[in-house]
Amino acid sequence: MQTFPIPPASGRGVLWFFIIIIVVLLGVLLMLGWAAWSTRHSRAEVSPAGLKLVGDLWGRTIPLDRLQLDEARVVDLRGEPDLVPRRRTAGTAIGGYSAGWFRLRNGEKSLLYLTDRRRVVYIPTLNGYSLLISQSDPRRFLETLQDVAGGG
């Protein structure tokens, strides 16, 4: 038997291909880790500067004057079929955690931070979307938002 080696591929092209793949995979791994961490550490902070949503890629600060607090209410999504998230447009959905941009059954665009669909605060905004935020004490959260927005 005679053996004839196949010449190796040019080192640069193959090497760069694998470097790019490794960097992309590390990026995806980091994003998944951050999303997993966010499922347990997301929060909403209320201050005169606004409502700050912290966690995941979707966090932001929304000025209080952009929130339609007179239309905000505490909801149980089991009894509000129109407000149930229907389609994720850009977000995270892992187990019982949903965060990011979704379309609701009623067609409304909404920014979600949901972990418990029974205790949710629904807040329309003047920015063309609503907020759905799970809270341990949704009534107290909504009262605090209204007090801070009212200057109290």
Q: What is the DSSP string of 111-140?
A: EEEES-TTSEEEEEBTTS-EEEEE-SSHHH
Question: Does some domain include residue 22?
Answer: no
Domain membership flag for residue 29:
no
pTM of the predicted protein model: 0.78
Classify residue 113: in a domain, yes or no: yes
33 domain residue, yes or no: no
Residue 93 lies in a domain: yes
pLDDT of residue 77: 96
Task: Quote the CA–CA distance of 99 and 97 in Å, as a whole number.
Answer: 7
Q: Is residue 96 part of a domain?
A: yes
The pLDDT value given to residue 8: 75
Burial class of 151 by CB neighbour count within 10 A (0 to 12, 13 to 18, 19+): exposed
What was the pLDDT predicted at 43?
A: 86
Q: Buried (b) or exposed (e) across 126-146, using 16+ Cβ within 10 A?
A: eeebbbbbbbeebeebbeebb
In a domain, 30, yes or no: no
Q: Which residue has the tokens 């793949």?
A: 21
Domain contains 78: yes
Q: pLDDT tens digits, residue range 68-117?
A: 999 999 999 999 999 999 999 988 887 788 889 999 999 999 999 999 99
Closest to 118 in 3D by CA, of 141, 104, 137, 142: 137
Tens-place pLDDT, residues 117-142: 999 999 999 999 999 999 999 999 99
Q: How many domains does the chain have?
A: 1
Quote the domain boundaries for residue 59.
42-149
The percentage of residues in the chain with a pLDDT greater than 90, rounded to a whole number, is 62
